[in-house]
Structure 1
Amino acid sequence: MGQGLSCRTTHENGLFTAVQFGDSDTVQTLLERDQTLIHQTTVYDRHSALHIAAANGQIEIVSMLLNRSVNPDLLNRYKQTPLMLAAMHGRISCVQKLIQTGANILMFDSLNGRTCLHYAAYYGHSDCLQAILSAAQSSRVAASWGFTRFVNIRDGKGATPLHLAARQRRPECVHILLDNGALVCASTGGYGFTGKHSTSLSC
């Protein structure tokens, strides 16, 4: 039993390394050898292969995993989805692929209570931000939540994507959000942030 566990762990490490560096041939070989590896996660952060592929912009592997019916909304230790990590790291092709496959844009992590929209705005990835907003206009989010409500969604400390973009000095994201109906609110409480920051960047 111990030897089998050791071998399994070796396969896991090999899979995650191959995913990180975009070695699709090795990924395919490992998954064909042991299909259960597709459900494994890293020990501490509980990142799946899809999380790692999305965060590193490995679109070929993202597509391979999704074609194997991997859930696009898998959660890591902090309840972050692959879409959140792709938006966080500015991996636009992965963001688009995940959205096309049905990834839920209205999920909140447990770290900051943020969505993929918050992360795209915070890190200044305007292309990812626009892709998520476009998806929101044509997805069930628009019908169930309302597009304007989604654009102004607050994180765990009360900050909207606009507040985060302005606070991090991401003028392009600020403009995109304002053009899509983001509201310049008076305060976000937990951040001590006022609308003045947003208007100063929107000029």
Structure 2
Amino acid sequence: MRIYLKIAVYLVLAIGLSFAKAGSYEDFFAAIKRDNPEAITDLLKRGFDPNSLDPAGRHGLFIAVQEGSLKAAEALIAWPKTNVEWRSPKDESPLMIAAFRGHTDIVRKLIARDAHVNKTGWAPLHYAATGGHVEIIAILLEEHAFIDAESPNKSTPLMMAAMYGSPESVRLLLKEGADPMMRNELGMSAVDFAQRGNRKDAADLIAGAIRSRQPRGRW
């Protein structure tokens, strides 16, 4: 009889723990959606895994940055067990998303946690340049981001800034030494990107940088 009672107690405890974990799982992702850092930290202190994935296979920190739940993102970044270098199936990191969306403080905090500034393929600098976020571009370059990083089709941050970013982002990249002569696998240069995006201001800046590289003849 005692053995059966022990088994029954164990089963009750196991079922209780299962329900508690299930509840914590739902509460964790709900807290991210609500941008509630206190609830997140409380769950983490109780042992919840910060690297749990939601039903769609997304990391909590990635969701927070992607959806603009910045207080939730800060709480997760501050938690030492959070994997800040989780990658999505598209090989996107939280730092890349923060760079694209212009979340400057989050970018700084992720870098302080040793998030990778450089990576193969698309890099954070591509994303910052695409968003035209000058301050983030400057931060990444200060952290030794490779200015002429090549995407899988060899497009550079300057090309992305030329087509999608701001004139200021193009100007900064050129000032910091981005190569305006590079071409991607389709044979397109940064000037071609600017023209395709109907960005005359960017095209003029890049053309001027190319002219400045030409040797001047003597008369």
Q: TM-score, normalised by structure 1?
A: 0.77
- Find the partner of 1:129 among 121, 132, 137: 137
| Whole-angstrom CA distance in 2 between matches of 1:95 and 1:80 | 14
Q: Is the Cα contact below 8 Å between 2:131 and 2:165 reproduced in 1?
A: no
Q: Which moved more, 1:3-12 or 1:156-165?
A: 3-12
Query: 2:103 maps to which residue?
Result: 91
| Whole-angstrom CA distance in 1 between matches of 2:161 and 2:34 | 30
Amino acid at match of 1:163: M
Query: 2:191 maps to which residue?
Result: 196
CA shift, 1:175, in A, is 0.7
| Whole-angstrom CA distance in 2 between matches of 1:18 and 1:36 | 13
Q: Which moved more, 1:3-12 or 1:94-103?
A: 3-12
When the two chains are superposed, the root-mean-square deviation of aligned CA atoms in Å is 2.5
Q: Is the Cα contact below 8 Å between 2:162 and 2:190 reproduced in 1?
A: no
| Whole-angstrom CA distance in 2 between matches of 1:72 and 1:16 | 17
**Are 2:91 and 1:105 equivalent residues in the alignment?**
no
Query: 1:145 maps to which residue?
Result: none
Equivalent residues in 2 for 1:132-171, closer than 5 Å: 132-136=140-144, 150-171=146-167
| Whole-angstrom CA distance in 2 between matches of 1:179 and 1:5 | 57
Query: 1:64 maps to which residue?
Result: 75
- Find the partner of 1:119 among 119, 127, 130: 127
Distance 1:8 1:84, change over 3 A: same
Query: 1:178 maps to which residue?
Result: 174
Structure 1, unaligned stretches of length 5 or more? Answer: 142-149
Distance 1:186 1:68, change over 3 A: closer
SS state of the match for residue 25, structure 2? helix
Deviation track 1:117-144 (CA, whole Å, cap 9, x = no partner) reads 00111122222211111111xxxx6xxx
Amino acid at match of 2:183: S
Structure 2, unaligned stretches of length 5 or more? Answer: 1-13, 195-201, 209-219
Higher RCO (CA < 8 A, seq sep 6+): 1
| Whole-angstrom CA distance in 1 between matches of 2:188 and 2:21 | 49
| Whole-angstrom CA distance in 1 between matches of 2:165 and 2:98 | 20
Equivalent residues in 2 for 1:45-84, closer than 5 Å: 46-69=57-80, 70-84=82-96
Distance 1:6 1:176, change over 3 A: farther
SS state of the match for residue 65, structure 2? helix
| Whole-angstrom CA distance in 1 between matches of 2:191 and 2:41 | 52
Distance 1:181 1:158, change over 3 A: same
Tell me the number of residue pairs that the alignment of Structure 1 and Structure 2 aligns. Answer: 184
Q: Is the Cα contact below 8 Å between 2:122 and 2:150 reproduced in 1?
A: yes
Distance 1:89 1:20, change over 3 A: farther
| Whole-angstrom CA distance in 2 between matches of 1:135 and 1:13 | 37
Identity of aligned residues (%): 24
